[in-house]
Amino acid sequence: MRSIRTLPLCVLSIILLGNNLFAGDFSVRPVSSLPGNFFSTVKKVDADFALHEISRSAGAKICSCQILNMESANYQHRNVAVFAEKTNHGNYSADYRIAKDVIEKEKKHLKHLFYDKVKVVNHIAQTTDCKSLYIKLKGADRSLVMYDILDADIKR
């Protein structure tokens, strides 16, 4: 009696498996039972979720960035971006100053330890997280290189 119930399930499983093993028209891979736009839809949903997360947290952070040209006897690096991210507590001028001070300390370390010349090419400060600012700047200038995102919330 038990084999009578499992036999149709086995046959059905073999038929479904067999249908997915054969390639479709003009295709070298098996035919998928998923809709053709399934994976692009999943990517779009993931991208929308990431954009929502960035925009939701955008008001909570501020980012200060300096784009540097650095030179030593052996190396010359151009368009290097140093970021400092600080939690926004409502006092924009104080928060921006703290983030800028963190970058200034890092520049002193770079100059003292590695480079003879450190020149600021550009300074940007925005009410957003540093990852979003980097993506925006990288879209405008493909030669931009990220040095680091420094945490300005840490007491130094």
Q: How many domains does the chain have?
A: 2
Instruction: Decide if 143 is inside a domain.
Output: yes
Range of the domain at 132: 60-151
pLDDT in tens, 91-147: 888 889 999 999 999 999 999 999 999 999 999 999 999 999 999 999 999 999 999
What is the per-residue pLDDT for 57?
A: 47
- Same domain for 145 and 97: yes
Q: C-alpha angle with apex 156: 147 to 91, nearest 5 degrees?
A: 90
pLDDT in tens, 80-104: 999 999 998 888 888 899 999 999 9
Strands 145-151 and 117-126, by their bridges, are unpaired
- Same domain for 66 and 36: no
| DSSP H helical ranges for the chain | 2-21, 38-57, 92-113, 130-140
- Same domain for 26 and 64: no
pLDDT in tens, 41-75: 555 655 555 555 554 544 589 999 999 999 999 98
What element of type H or E holds 35?
none
Instruction: Decide if 156 is inside a domain.
Output: no
Instruction: Decide if 90 is inside a domain.
Output: yes
CA 8, CA 57: separation in Å to the nearest integer? 54
- Same domain for 125 and 108: yes
